[in-house]
Amino acid sequence: QLPDQQTTSESPLSWFRGVYLPPALHPLNKTLVKGNKWKDVDSTQEKRRSFLHDFCKKYNSRKKLQTHLVHLVSRIYVEDRHKVLYCEVPKAGCSNWKRVLIVLNGLATSAHNISHDDVHYGKHLRKLDSYDLKGIYTRLSMYTKFIFVRDPMERLVSAFRDKFEHPNSYYHPVFGKAIIKKYRHNADEEALKTGSGVQFREFIQYLLDSHRPVGMDIHWEQVSKLCYPCLINYDFIGKFETLEEDANYFLQLVGAPGDLKFPKFKDRHSSDERTSAEVVRQYLKELSEEERQLTYDFYYLDYLMFNYTSP
């Protein structure tokens, strides 16, 4: 609840009263883009932007999401030099995007020299919720806001493989133990003690359970709840499926140094096969038809907002 004095029209929060209306679709500033080679990427970008805008217009008229401004921006990273805001979607190129932001910010000379731990645990980048309300509002109004998304099932399977099929000192004891205890009948002592060896089907039972034994996690939370794309007007919508060309076009748009290109390397478990549509099919075979449908329903909004084909 906001104090009375903050609801006056001088306050940046007067903007917040209208946040539930579909935000205006501002034209992208393309003055820094050189050459014709980005024509197709640009035309795809415009289609994605208007698709999301039209979707939000319909969706918002039916449903109002009452959420505090600070919570809305809690996943957004700030890069002040090039005036960009990036909403982090895990398993959609986020580690390499954070590397690029660190370079843009002048804190490193190359994205290739920044370790995984530095990216995720170093304090190199500020999040938007660390600013005061005026700072949040100013940046939301003035900066270029971007998001990168991925086919929801691919993102889900990628998260499962990363967190549960490799040794992990956090996900196994915290999530694994709780999942095995609740969903595996006759679990042996070793599995209950370590939380290792969670099966995909057990993971899906946890995901779909309204009484989960342990909370949600950003790696499989819906994009609609991480980044609020109908309340925050993203200027640029990239997709993991066209990651490199989208990313390099975006870097042109914001005037990044000419030699900065989006890194191609796989951040972790580089010898593993990438999670593709074929890999996803193999995992979905472990589920019943009803479980597959319910999993799709869980990510229904993400499918709709970003125009992904239902599996």
Q: Report if residue 4 sits inside a domain.
A: no
Cα distances (angstroms) measured from residue 189 to each of 166, 194, 197: 20, 9, 12
Domain that holds residue 163: 156-208
Tell me, yes or no, whether 134 and 264 share the same domain: yes
pLDDT at 7: 39
Domain count, the chain: 2
pTM above 0.85, yes or no: yes
Q: Report if residue 12 sits inside a domain.
A: no
Tell me, yes or no, whether 51 and 115 share the same domain: yes
Q: Report if residue 3 sits inside a domain.
A: no
> Would you say 220 and 159 are in contact if contact means Cβ atoms under 8 Å apart?
yes
Tell me, yes or no, whether 61 and 188 share the same domain: no
Tell me, yes or no, whether 225 and 137 share the same domain: yes
pLDDT at 127: 95
Tell me, yes or no, whether 63 and 122 share the same domain: yes
Which amino acid is located at 176 in the chain?
Answer: G
pLDDT at 3: 41
Q: Report if residue 249 sits inside a domain.
A: yes
Tell me, yes or no, whether 46 and 123 share the same domain: yes
> Would you say 120 and 95 are in contact if contact means Cβ atoms under 8 Å apart?
yes
Q: Report if residue 29 sits inside a domain.
A: no
Q: Report if residue 18 sits inside a domain.
A: no
pLDDT at 123: 74
Q: Report if residue 10 sits inside a domain.
A: no
Tens-place pLDDT, residues 101-135: 999 998 877 777 877 777 776 778 999 999 999 99
Tens-place pLDDT, residues 78-91: 999 999 999 999 99
pLDDT at 240: 96
Residue-level pLDDT, tens digit, the chain, 311 residues: 344 444 334 444 444 444 444 567 788 889 888 888 899 999 999 999 999 999 988 877 545 556 678 889 999 999 999 999 999 999 999 999 999 999 999 887 777 787 777 777 677 899 999 999 999 999 999 999 999 999 999 999 999 999 999 999 999 999 999 999 999 999 999 999 999 999 999 999 999 999 999 999 999 999 999 999 988 999 999 999 999 999 999 999 999 998 899 988 766 666 688 899 999 999 999 999 999 999 999 999 999 999 999 88
Tell me, yes or no, whether 77 and 142 share the same domain: yes
